[in-house]
Amino acid sequence: MKSKLLIIFISIFVSVTLLTVGYGFWVKDLHIIGSINVVPDPEKLEAMKMQLEELESELELQKSFEEQQRILEEQKLLEEQKVIEEQMILNQNQGAVTEPETNNTIIDNSNSETIDSGNESEEKDIETEKSSAEPQESSIEPGSTANNN
């Protein structure tokens, strides 16, 4: 069985090889004397021209649409910049109207306290916080009783 398959395989291989080699050597030249004029089909040519015109019109529409979108975006940007500039002008005008508070600090050496004319209420709050944080002295002496009758 194996020998039969081997013979069939070798026969197919040799026949394919001989055919390809044989066709490789076969050459036939084609010589054309004269001139050949290729004329396109007028119907196909007309259809191609119409397709070209349609594509060109679509391209023009697309370009005009893109131009309109670009113009709209530029207008939005300009409006945003205008609003920002107006806000800046308003902020500058408000800054010019309200005078900045000056912080006058006077140091009194006798009390070692700083008096701030702009923040007096804050200093009082700080002083009360300091006094509440300090330990309070007890008036009761050790060894004495709470009732002094």
Q: pLDDT tens digits, residue range 7-33?
A: 999 999 998 888 887 777 777 787 878
Is 115:108 a contact under the CB 8 Å cutoff?
yes
Rounded to two decimals, the pTM is 0.34
Tens digits of per-residue pLDDT, 86-97? 999 988 888 776
